[in-house]
Structure 1
Amino acid sequence: MWYTKAPGHITPAVDISEGRASAEGELILPIFEGEEIISKMLTRDPSVRHAFSPNIFDSPLERMFYELAFLDLHIYPQHPVGKYRLDFAIPDKRIAIELDGHEYHKTKYQRTHDAKRDRWLYGQGWTVLRFTGTEIHQNLDHCLDEICTLVGIERVSKSNRAP
């Protein structure tokens, strides 16, 4: 599957080199067009995987979450809000999605920092959804269902993974 980037210049529908960040730090992805690419995305065809720069995501958990969530949600990874950087955001709905891996979020200091951060975001009109690494690994579909319900959209895809 290909798309036209400029007259006489065609580009693969999934072109890793086209992934980049805007001046505001928002991730800009390649354009997906045509029924074939949509079918592959909905069936989670492994040929349609994104190999992003390791600097975009802070953890393998975030990378895995994004690769599956982007089928249903228009989310922005590493989205800045004030002095904070959210793991993922849906800015137009003011929804922050935080993934708490055990290693980084196990200390009392980090849990206190997260609580203060959540209160500040709430004061700015944001809703913060926190998911543990265990929740993501054991039942990602349930996590995505919860986010989609809050956003008010219907899920397009469901993984074939058991809960």
Structure 2
Amino acid sequence: MAKTTELTHRLCTLIYFVIIFVIMAYCVLNAMYTVIIGGTTFYLFASFLLILQLIFALRTSLDSRIYASLGLVLLIVGLLYNYGLDFLSSLKAIILIPALMLTLFGLDSIYKHPTRLMLLKIGLVLGLLLLAYSQYYELVELQNYYNSLHNGETWQQFGAL
């Protein structure tokens, strides 16, 4: 019976990591495409920071989990640089949700309790899905802006393409 439980746990962990990987890959590719066609580079910077933060947060050593909190600090500094003190009113502030979840992975009081850890993992997936949706929304806005320019060209011909 113990082997079945261990196998189920490993399978659930593998599925969780695949879901996180797919969402992060979508966010990075969407951010790269946005940069290529002339959008902002903040999402690309934030996606790379989230990947680094994810690598550090899911390790077992306490030191590497402490390094994961630096990603949240860097994202707040980047938002302050771009938007000033009203950075929380920006759509890009959604990036702070998964960064905060990854920072909370470093707390021992949350990390050692399985139910809290499972809720945190669900919150991380939902935060990444919100990030992917906000990136998609800003890409659609950029496409609509290029469609509003009436010179006979399509929106793909404006950026670096």
Fold match by TM threshold 0.5: no
Q: Which has the higher contact order (CA 8 A, sep 6+)?
A: 2
Determine which structure has the larger strand proportion and give its number. 1
TM-score by length of 2: 0.30
Q: Quick check: which has more Rg, 1 or 2?
A: 2
Determine which structure has the larger helix proportion and give its number. 2
TM-score by length of 1: 0.30
